[in-house]
A = this chain, B = another copy of it.
């Protein structure tokens, strides 16, 4: 293991000089610098970051907590975080919490252990009150989801789920649909709740029925199988809804799959709208109408807010930073056939 002292000896200078060359900042005679560089290359020296971090009291590591990796939605966010972090010379420690509180908490201890300078939490459920403690003591940014209590205590990056849900319902209403169902999920995400509220409010203001038979919940993991179960229940209701708004693309696809098995044609007999606009949406016909979230940009924005906090930015950054969303119309939505 090569240390700075060995490099110094090899170059015939002191450790301070080597350090100065490494950090570029200070005044070192060009000739000396060249010698040092040479010694560094010759010995294949790389600084021990544990030592540097100890001295500088930073780790240049960002912790990212994700509830799962398999959802391409998170992949895009992680890509945004990853690319920007490389540019800013930070490493990203990604932890798959599998939605488990315990795993998330143990990962967050990286912060108190000085192994990470800050954290980005993706998909934080509203029930995770323990997050408050970390928000108080360390730089933390929430992405995609949020906890109401923490809104003015840390930065939050998310689309306006309430507005998006209202827009979807308005879109369906304008197409002519009057029996609009929704597939939510059995989880504590703010997005789930906000989309439900948007759905309900827009229905009310449009004078449309908000029939409890037309709202079903999939499992917390948004799994295809649980989506099928929810869709099956919805499509067994009488009267049967003519449109389904699902809070995730996978759930929307599962609804299409069930509909087809029941002999229904999408979109002729049933309109389906998803959310997130992941790749699946254009893999099979009918291509899915969905709401696009700028995931990559949301990842970048989260990191950039976090870095501002880490660098002790004086401007207050707390609050919800809304990203824009976009309803993308594809093949799975159409006016209902007239039957009344």
Contacts and interface: CB of A to CB of B under 8 A. Distances in A.
A163 to B, nearest CB: 28
A119 to B, nearest CB: 13
Interface string A55-99: 001010100000011101011101100100010000111111010
A112 interface: yes
Interface string A35-60: 00000000010111111011001010
Contact of A50 (B95, B106, B114): B114
Interface in A319-334: none
Nearest to A223: B279
A115 B49 contact: yes
A257 interface: yes
B279 A257 contact: no
A110 interface: yes
Interface string A216-252: 0000000010000000000000000000000000000
A192 to B, nearest CB: 22
Q: How large is the interface on A (under 10, 10 to 19, 20 to 34, 35 or more residues)?
A: 35 or more
B46 A50 contact: no
A265 interface: no
Nearest to A228: B283
A278 to B, nearest CB: 9
Contacts of A53: 50
Contacts of A48: 54, 113-114
B93 A106 contact: no
Contacts of A103: 86
Given A54-B54, A69-B75, A86 B106 contact: yes
A109 B283 contact: no
Contacts of A109: 46
Contact of A110 (B51, B91, B114, B115): B91
A253 interface: yes
A130 interface: no
A113 B75 contact: no
Nearest to A64: B94
Nearest to A56: B50
Contact of A82 (B1, B96, B257): B96
B78 A96 contact: yes
Interface in A144-168: none
A78 B69 contact: yes
Contact of A279 (B61, B70, B79, B98): B70
Contacts of A96: 78-79, 82
Contact of A72 (B51, B70, B112, B113): B70
6 contacts: A50-B114, A69-B79, A86-B103, A86-B106, A91-B110, A224-B283
Interface of A: 1, 44, 46-51, 53-54, 57, 59, 61, 68-70, 72, 74-76, 78-79, 82, 86, 91-96, 98, 103, 106, 109-110, 112-115, 224, 253-254, 257, 279, 283-285
